Amino acid sequence: MRVIAVLLVIGLVGAGIVGALSALGGGSGSSKSSSGPAPTTSPQPGSSSPPTPELAPFYGQRLAWSPCGDFECSSLTVPVDYRDPSGDTVHLALLKDPADDPATRIGSLVVNPGGPGVPGTNYATQGTAAFRQPLLDHYDVVGFDPRGTGSSDPVDCLSDAQLDDYLAVDPVPDDAAEAADLVDEYDTFWQGCADRSDDLVGHLTTVEAARDLDVLRSALGEATLTYLGASYGTKLGATYADLFPDRVGRFVLDGAVDVSLDARASSLAQATGFETALRSYVQNCLDGTDPCFLGGTLEEGLTRIKEFLVRVDAEPLATDDGDRVLREGNAFYGIVLPLYSRDYWSILSQALRAGFSGDGSTLLRLSDAYASRNADGSYADNSMEALAVISCLDDPYAVTPAQVPAQLPAFEQASPTFGDVFAWGLTGCAGIREHATERDRTITAAGAAPIVVIGTTRDPATPYAGAVHLAHQLDSGVLVSRDGDGHTAYNTGNACIDDAVERYLIEGTVPQDGLRC
């Protein structure tokens, strides 16, 4: 999941990190039995059976795939409101990367990179940057843009210039005037969502996206869904499993979210996760052969980064991007993005060295990459807007600025560096104009086939404890742990994890519950 300084959390995984940063350079436990039969290469009996008669027109769809570059594209029609299937519909964008070895093709692997708000079609195009060759050989990798994201009737709340201001706003107001500015940004955002988007904006919950997943499964001709979800995609997958346990095939949830937590508890956990990742980054600097530019001790390094953010708040830094300056909100994003992958800690060091010298250019570019902002000032997708809408529809919990001081002690204890940012982020949903028609569920997925849940011990965005809890919450959860840094585990260089994931998805061999890699 990706964190938003002025709001909540959003996911950025695997290939998403590669895409965002490449331009910058830069156990023991009982074994569970195998899942049901592997998906086949042709439509399976019962794949078109709808959960209710009213949904039959949607479950009878046949996808018309057409070439789009090196891939195949199509669209899927789903109801805007599942309570009224005869009402308005929305078309979801689909992209398929056909199996590289058709002779050994198993079926369709539906993938989701997280968010909420990140387009899944882009994820499916990433090839070996996101998926290893064994999966690409045996599966059609199918990505979809969830409703309201990417090319699936994207929700729109702000102009590009307004989104620039929204992301740069001071995430930690110092006085009543700055707090009022923050509230004004939220009001502008939520009013913009109402003014600039259609009625779909009130139907962007995770539950509704999970219902869409089942329509997609049917359209792909699969009796059960084979799924690889990362970050927030684990919440989407777990929600699907709870709604349709008999349709769960081979499921892998990587970088798992604790779906039992409310918005405040999730934010507190993520604050802890990013503090843990930052400490690991600083310690790595200290352990190097050269003197660490951050200081001589772990606490000195953390303090210097915190004091840097305070200085940027007081006096934004000049950049090489025209009249743009680096403000505290952008500086925060610029620091947290490289924490998603250990491979990019060197870029963070370059950015901080420049920032300490008064040049905010690299941190601003990192912030822009985080938000999918193009060099010309446009945005490549609506992920930052969709994040807010989906998150706040799922859980509209919010506090007022006057209530934030009472939250600060817990958050600053969890994260002395970033805690105040996360505490103020709790105000973000206060102005939402829409009310969800589908609420989050208590998730157990009783009756589902084994679901593999993966956690990384020093994952900043989805802390390891979330994977442990989700594996326990799911009746058929199988916990696999990666000892390491960065967000998510599959295809990050850990052979043990890769083997466990691929043997399950390709052969149906369920990993040992409690496997540690």
Q: What digits encode the pLDDT tens for the residues 433-475?
A: 888 888 877 899 999 999 999 999 999 999 999 999 999 999 9
Residue 251 has what pLDDT? Answer: 98
Within-domain flag for 29: no
268 and 411 belong to one structural domain: yes
425, 450, 469 — which closes off a domain? 425
- Per DSSP, the residues of 214-239 read HHHHHHTT-SSEEEEEETHHHHHHHH
Within-domain flag for 270: yes
Q: Ranked by mean pLDDT, which of 46-60, 121-135, 161-175 comes out on top?
A: 121-135
How far lies 7's CA from each of 264, 392, 458, 485, in Å?
12, 10, 23, 25
210 and 286 belong to one structural domain: no
Within-domain flag for 34: no
Catalytic residue among 140, 164, 170, 459: 459
Kindly indicate the confidence band of residue 86, based on its pLDDT and cuts at 50, 70 and 90. Answer: very high
Rounded CA-CA distance 456/375 in Å is 33
Catalytic residue among 74, 197, 231, 367: 231
Kindly indicate the confidence band of residue 6, based on its pLDDT and cuts at 50, 70 and 90. Answer: very low
3-class state of residue 259 by DSSP? coil
> Is pLDDT larger for residue 74 or for residue 434?
74
- Contact by Cβ (8 Å): 244, 446: no
Other CB atoms within 10 A of residue 410 CB: 14
Rounded CA-CA distance 190/186 in Å is 6
Output phi, psi for 107, to 5 deg. Answer: 165, -150
250 and 272 belong to one structural domain: no
360, 395, 425 — which closes off a domain? 425
Task: Tell whether the model's pLDDT for residue 94 goes beyond 90.
Answer: yes
271 and 220 belong to one structural domain: no
Residue 403 identity (one-letter amino acid): Q
Within-domain flag for 430: no
Other CB atoms within 10 A of residue 133 CB: 12
425, 456, 479 — which closes off a domain? 425
Q: Which of 42-51, 137-146, 269-278, 378-387 has the lowest mean pLDDT?
A: 42-51
Q: What is the pLDDT of residues 341-374, one digit of tens each?
A: 999 999 999 999 999 999 999 999 999 999 999 9
Kindly indicate the confidence band of residue 34, based on its pLDDT and cuts at 50, 70 and 90. Answer: very low
Mean pLDDT throughout 235-253?
97
115 and 62 belong to one structural domain: yes
Within-domain flag for 451: yes
Active-site residue, 487 included: yes
108 and 222 belong to one structural domain: yes
404 and 290 belong to one structural domain: yes
Angle at 135 between CA 108 and CA 107, to 5 degrees: 20
Task: Tell whether the model's pLDDT for residue 18 goes beyond 80.
Answer: no
Within-domain flag for 257: yes
How far lies 28's CA from each of 151, 450, 481, in Å?
44, 17, 11
62 and 125 belong to one structural domain: yes
Within-domain flag for 1: no
Q: Give the residue among 137, 132, 76, 180 at the shortest CA–CA distance from 401.
A: 180
Rounded CA-CA distance 7/39 in Å is 40
Q: What is the dihedral of CA 18, 20, 22, 24, to 10 degrees?
A: -150
CATH of the domain at 469: 3.40.50.1820
Kindly indicate the confidence band of residue 38, based on its pLDDT and cuts at 50, 70 and 90. Answer: very low
Mean pLDDT throughout 282-296?
94
Q: Is 289 left (phi over 0), alpha (psi -120 to 50) or beta?
A: alpha
* Residue numbers of the domain that contains 304: 14-24+155-200+262-425
343 and 482 belong to one structural domain: no
Angle at 344 between CA 343 and CA 348, to 5 degrees: 150
128 and 169 belong to one structural domain: no
Residue 440 has what pLDDT? Answer: 79
- Total structural domains in the chain? 2
- Map tokens 């999941």 to a residue: 1
109 and 257 belong to one structural domain: yes
Strands (E), 306-458: 317-318, 325-326, 451-458
Q: The tokens of 239 are what?
A: 């929600």
Active-site residue, 231 included: yes
Within-domain flag for 39: no
396 and 493 belong to one structural domain: no
